[in-house]
Amino acid sequence: MDFVFDHVNVLVTDMERSVAFYEKTLGMKVIREMGSADGPVHFVCLGYEGSDMVLELKQEKAHEGPYNLGDNSHHFCVKTPDIEEALALYREMGIIVREMGGHGAFIKDPDGYEVEVLQK
């Protein structure tokens, strides 16, 4: 058997806010959209050119309030060639959960999910 990693799904409470966050903080671009912003379920997939891995954001219109993330021990990780530039942006935005000695950091998205960002 042969497998390829395809996507990670996270639930969001405000699609526009989340898309803007991932575009600004991680440089992701919208790849495709499924459903509609007015429908009961709306998906937006973000990613990077040349990568098959996709971050799939899902908003369920019937859900009210924040999602229960439990202990939130899960995360995904991206790498950047310029961690100092990324860290400066994250410090300015006040979204750093913890820094890792100048080679990376964990940041928190608008719904409380942690993202690990490392020096490439």
CA dihedral over 94, 98, 104, 106, signed as positive or negative: negative
Clarify whether 99 is annotated catalytic.
no
- CB of 15 within 8 A of CB of 30? no
HSE of 68, CA atoms in CB hemisphere, 13 A: 1
Q: Which residues are known catalytic residues?
A: 116
